[in-house]
């Protein structure tokens, strides 16, 4: 029997967790820095811009739920293939995940091109906020495919135990984004001031550079010569694999969707207090500690329900934050309960092709 040489599935668990988890944590922090930088420079404009940016982010969260569900499923399938040492399947899984994610991002591009401003008006935004938000949302949705590719490639790297490469790439993305944000928003170096749209352009350009860096690592870095993370030489289409990815993606997409709808509902409720309140909410929600604890019922039922009650009963905006805390605590209790039950340990995935029967 061939001995496994996978250092992540053999040996001390604590060491493997540390090797993989620390760069992921740093990468996530760097992603949060990107959001802080974006909002910082948007904040140099005016309340309407901040409110438009806040509502744009909430709309993006709702519209991209399916894409992030696909990314979650990709992580599960790639991790299984890597742990089973079926390295050739990683390329096929990557390809089919991109089929799904890019297909859906094309639909969102059409929505962004024709309906961005209408989405804000449906949320009850003032016309000036809707117009300003559309200046950010339209290019973000039309260029979403760039972010989709970056997230998918990052997920595949992390799922095969290489979390350092995405960390270094995210560091580069941050540097580029920090330089481009003021350059494009307020106009530096003789370039025109693009306002809030400049933040969207900076985000897309910096992430496009991140995609090029990851692809360069895949094919040009000598140490990655034998890495399984590459695009397949022969592009195939396996309907069964597409179906399997979708089956795993749907529950994750629903969970994220409910959470995103909760955030969107909170923004709509807070709009009752005016443009400045929405702007303040957007700034405070950039990197909340509660983000890592939120899930379904706590946000949608407890948090949104309480927030709506407080808002329409004439309470001050301070009570909105009490609703956020209550929702977070409730969902932490639910998450802990289902984790302790251990049902997640029994889930199985099929990663073999239709022509190759799964091994017993």
In a domain, 114, yes or no: yes
Domains: count for the chain: 1
- Cα 325 from Cα 302, distance rounded (Å): 10
pLDDT in tens, 205-251: 999 999 999 999 999 988 888 888 999 888 889 999 999 999 988 88
Average pLDDT over residues 282-306: 56
In a domain, 111, yes or no: yes
Looking up tokens 């290019």 gives 139
Instruction: pLDDT band for 285, please (50, 70, 90 cuts).
Output: low
In a domain, 222, yes or no: yes
Coil/strand/helix, residue 348: coil
pLDDT in tens, 124-164: 788 988 999 999 999 999 999 999 999 999 999 988 888 88
- Cα 65 from Cα 259, distance rounded (Å): 9
In a domain, 98, yes or no: yes
Does 10 have pLDDT greater than 70?
no
pLDDT in tens, 11-22: 666 666 666 677
Are 146 and 208 within 8 A, CB to CB? yes
In a domain, 328, yes or no: no
What is the torsional sign of CA 71, 74, 76, 78?
negative
- The mean predicted confidence, pLDDT, of the chain is 80
Does 183 have pLDDT greater than 60?
yes
Neighbours of 341 (CB within 10 A): 9
In a domain, 309, yes or no: no
- Domain ranges, residue 192: 13-260
In a domain, 278, yes or no: no
In a domain, 347, yes or no: no
What pLDDT does 346 receive? 67
- Cα 233 from Cα 310, distance rounded (Å): 58
């Amino acid at each position: 029997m061939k001995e496994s040489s996978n250092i992540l599935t053999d040996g001390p668990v604590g060491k493997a967790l540390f090797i993989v988890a620390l760069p992921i944590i740093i990468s996530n922090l760097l992603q949060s820095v990107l959001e802080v930088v974006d909002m910082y420079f948007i904040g140099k404009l005016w309340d309407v811009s901040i409110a438009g940016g806040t509502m744009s982010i909430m709309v993006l969260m709702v519209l991209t739920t399916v894409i992030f569900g696909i990314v979650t499923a990709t992580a599960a399938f790639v991790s299984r293939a890597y742990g089973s040492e079926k390295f050739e399947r990683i390329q096929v899984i990557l390809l089919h995940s991109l089929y799904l994610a890019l297909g859906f991002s094309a639909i969102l591009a059409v929505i962004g091109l024709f309906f961005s401003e209408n989405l804000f008006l449906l949320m009850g935004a003032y016309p000036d906020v809707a117009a300003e938000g559309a200046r950010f949302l339209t290019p973000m949705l039309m260029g979403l495919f760039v972010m989709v590719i970056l997230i998918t490639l990052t997920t595949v790297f992390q799922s095969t135990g290489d979390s350092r490469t995405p960390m270094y790439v995210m560091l580069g993305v941050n540097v580029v984004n920090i330089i481009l944000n003021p350059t494009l928003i307020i106009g530096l170096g003789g370039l025109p001031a693009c306002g809030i749209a400049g933040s969207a352009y900076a985000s897309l350009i910096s992430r496009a550079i991140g995609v090029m860096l990851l692809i360069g690592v895949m094919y040009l870095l000598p140490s990655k010569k034998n890495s399984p993370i590459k695009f397949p030489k022969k592009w195939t289409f396996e309907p069964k694999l597409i179906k399997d990815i979708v089956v795993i993606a749907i529950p994750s997409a629903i969970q994220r969707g409910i959470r995103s709808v909760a955030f969107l509902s909170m923004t709509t409720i807070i709009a009752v207090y005016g443009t400045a309140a929405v702007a303040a909410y957007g700034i405070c929600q950039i990197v909340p500690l509660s983000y890592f604890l939120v899930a379904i019922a706590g946000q949608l039922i407890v948090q949104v329900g309480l927030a709506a009650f407080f808002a329409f009963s004439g309470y001050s905006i301070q009570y909105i934050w009490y609703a956020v805390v209550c929702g977070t605590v409730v969902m932490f209790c639910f998450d802990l309960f289902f984790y302790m039950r251990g049902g997640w340990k029994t889930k199985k995935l099929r990663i073999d092709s239709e022509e190759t029967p799964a091994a017993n």
